[in-house]
Amino acid sequence: MPRISYVNGRYLPHAEAKVHMEDRGYQFADGVYEVCEVARGHIMDMSGHLDRLDRSLGELAIAWPLERRVLPAIMREVVTRNRVRDGLVYLQITRGVAPRDHAFPAPSTRPSLVVTAKRSDPQAARRRAETGIAVITVPENRWDRVDIKTVGLLPNVLARQKAKDAGAQEAWFVDPDGTVKEGASTNVWIVTADGHLVTRPADTGILRGITRATVFRIAEKLGYTVEERAFTVEEALKAREAFVTAATTVVMPVVRIDDKPVANGHPGTVALSLREAFFDVAEKTQA
């Protein structure tokens, strides 16, 4: 079955799903994106992702390419046409195609919209969660508007490659004061010795993760308290547990930081219980 993707109003075989070379996403990374998890045939937390998309578009003064209420139907259609029961649905909106010039193009320029979906193996993800992942730390070198989910991800790409080269799966951006910001594509959490969850406030300097928000709700349901405050790499190494959250990983235990073990070097029960409860607590939209 060929993969089908959506490009500006058309569902096309993936190999033919193209945008013009003067698309401003290609030329300037002048665009925003969202990724939703697809689990057991449901698009997870879709409203939260579309609310954040709306905010990202607003912050960059990019118009919606179509009415927001139409987008869920396109996302569901792409998921269904690709028979994705577990995986991801990706969408990207750029400022559109225009002759290359840094300043915004004519207001009549139509923003570009692409939507793709791909499958992933839920058993492999579960096995990975049972083992946990290793992370490295890298100095924060991104701009100060990482609250906007733009496709300008070069520091994240370089950080993730550095992690891969070191045999790790994620890189954590760390501020000069030693506090952890977030991962290349994840938010970061620790569990203190007395069982409290700690995660950095999302007011500035990190992306306000949709999975992060759902984990707040799960924590409340399971009776864990959450402190929103900065923490250092040292504190994370001494923590009872560390984990990351994202639509792509849900809740993923972190067992090594810069090749040193977190606690006993094995995933902890808090992270695994949050992961376990995720499907029930998150918003589910049938694809």
Give the Cα separation of 259 and 240 in Å (integer).
17
Give the Cα separation of 162 and 156 in Å (integer).
10
Among 228, 229, 268, smallest CA distance to 252 is for 268
We find the least distance from the C-beta atom of residue 183 to ligand PLP, in angstroms, to be: 6
Nearer to ligand PLP, 32 or 78 (CB): 32
Q: Does 163 bind ligand PLP (CB under 6 A)?
A: no
Q: Rounded to an integer, what is the distance from CA 245 to the centroid of its chain?
A: 8
In the set 56, 94, 185, 199, which binds ligand PLP (CB under 6 A)? 185
- Helices assigned H by DSSP within 87-209: 122-131, 154-165
Q: Which amino acid is at 255?
A: V
Q: Does 75 bind ligand PLP (CB under 6 A)?
A: no
Q: What CA–CA distances, in Å, run from 26 to 33, 97, 109, 152, 277? A: 13, 9, 15, 10, 39
Nearer to ligand PLP, 239 or 244 (CB): 244
Q: Does 125 bind ligand PLP (CB under 6 A)?
A: no
The contact pattern for ligand PLP, residues 194-233, with x = CB under 6 A and - = no contact, is -------------x-xxxx---------------------
Catalytic residue selected from 149, 181, 238, 260: 149
- Is residue 118 among the annotated active site residues? no
Catalytic site positions: 149
Would you tell me which residues interact with ligand PLP (CB under 6 A)?
Answer: 35, 182, 185-187, 207, 209-212, 245-247
